[in-house]
Chain A
Amino acid sequence: MENRVRELRTQRAWSQAELGERLAVSRQAVNAIENGKHDPSLSLAFRIARLFDQPVETIFDQPPP
């Protein structure tokens, strides 16, 4: 799954650790999501969308197979 988490985080000048703190997850989890190594659960995806104040589908996208 592709996502814009890194782009949105850097726009706000937050570190991965800072974003992890706001989402109550580890820095490693943020790093894995940004690098496409971990697809977040629905619950975490909605928390990310709420934090960035954007609809979830504008942050996460599943490219067609």
Chain B
Amino acid sequence: MLFYRSHRGLRGLSVATVRTLSATSLAAYPAGALLLALSPDGLGASLAGYGLILLALAAWAPLLRSSVQRIVAEDTKVLDEYELGLRGRALGASYAAFAALSLLLVLYAAIASDKGFWLPDSYDEYNGVFWGLFLYASVLPTALLSWMVEPTFADE
């Protein structure tokens, strides 16, 4: 679920940039997906929804080459003991956050089915939920780790 692409000599992203990109990705995807789901017939809402999803993906892609992403996704054999410690903390915190988020989603689904609120009911909507969870599982450890390290972490 976690990916890292070596930047082979290119300069990595700063911690501040990783924080901004990961927050953008985590916020833009659900906003875009909800806009698409809640206003399926409005052209403006559809354009804004797809725009937000594209923004989330555009913010996610550069993270794959960051030094912060390297720590959460690189093969453990090439990480040192400090990096392994950071990785453990980031994955532990993101597991707790992801579990809490999943529980909240199930709670919402239970209430929504009783009260008639919106729930996904087509392949496209479930597809959106699937890729949203995929994005969160991939970005959360990087986002949380970027707040655990000093802003100068990635400086060479």
Query: Which A residues have a C-beta under 8 Å from some C-beta of B?
Result: 17, 24-29, 32-33, 38, 40-41, 44
Contact = CB atoms under 8 A, between A and B. Distances in A.
A6 B20 CA distance: 32
Contacts of B149: 28
Contacts of A41: 81
Q: Interface residue tally of chain B, by bracket?
A: under 10
A40 B81 contact: yes
B81 A28 contact: no
B81 A25 contact: yes
A38 B85 contact: yes
Interface in B48-86: 80-83, 85
B82 A26 contact: yes
B80 A29 contact: yes
Contacts of B81: 25, 29, 38, 40-41, 44
